[in-house]
């Protein structure tokens, strides 16, 4: 079924980093490549992990200034950063990461 604007009360509203996501895509961490679109991230850490971290480059950060953020196991977290890159080095294996566009 195609998109129906009659069912979308948010159509035509300005997009912002705090707005609802209108699309998304899985993210594979990569030390060298930026995301195809800068976005917020939803990160899920399975409960089977004892601890978890995601390493990111926020939009305005230099390449040598990543942030490492804890992610609570068994929960989904939406990061409060607009992200340009998710680094493989320093990101816990097994996380499920999605871009929120």
Spatial neighbors of 1 by CB under 8 A, at least 6 apart, are none
Q: What percent of the chain stands above pLDDT 90? A: 66
| Assigned domain for 6 exists | no
| Assigned domain for 11 exists | no
Q: Which of 90, 87, 98 is nearest to 56 (CA)?
A: 87
Question: How many helices and strands (H and E) does the chain possess?
Answer: 0, 7
| Assigned domain for 10 exists | no
Residue 9 has pLDDT above 70, yes or no: no
* pLDDT given for residue 54 in this prediction: 98
Spatial neighbors of 54 by CB under 8 A, at least 6 apart, are 41, 43, 68, 69, 71, 79, 86, 91, 92, 95, 97
Its pTM stands at 0.85
Give me the number of domains the chain comprises.
Answer: 1
Please give the residue range of the domain that contains residue 59. 24-100
Q: What is the pLDDT of residues 11-56, one digit of tens each?
A: 777 666 667 777 889 999 999 999 998 989 999 999 999 999 999 9
Residue 68 has pLDDT above 70, yes or no: yes
């Amino acid at each position: 079924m195609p998109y129906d604007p009659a069912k979308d009360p948010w159509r035509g509203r300005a997009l912002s980093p705090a707005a609802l996501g209108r699309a998304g895509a899985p993210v594979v961490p990569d030390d060298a490549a930026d995301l195809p679109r800068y976005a917020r991230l939803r990160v899920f850490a399975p409960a089977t992990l004892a601890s978890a971290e995601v390493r990111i480059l926020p939009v305005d950060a230099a390449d040598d200034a990543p942030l490492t953020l804890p992610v609570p196991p068994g929960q989904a977290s939406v990061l409060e950063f607009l992200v340009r890159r998710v680094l493989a080095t320093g990101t816990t294996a097994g996380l499920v990461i999605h871009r929120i566009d």
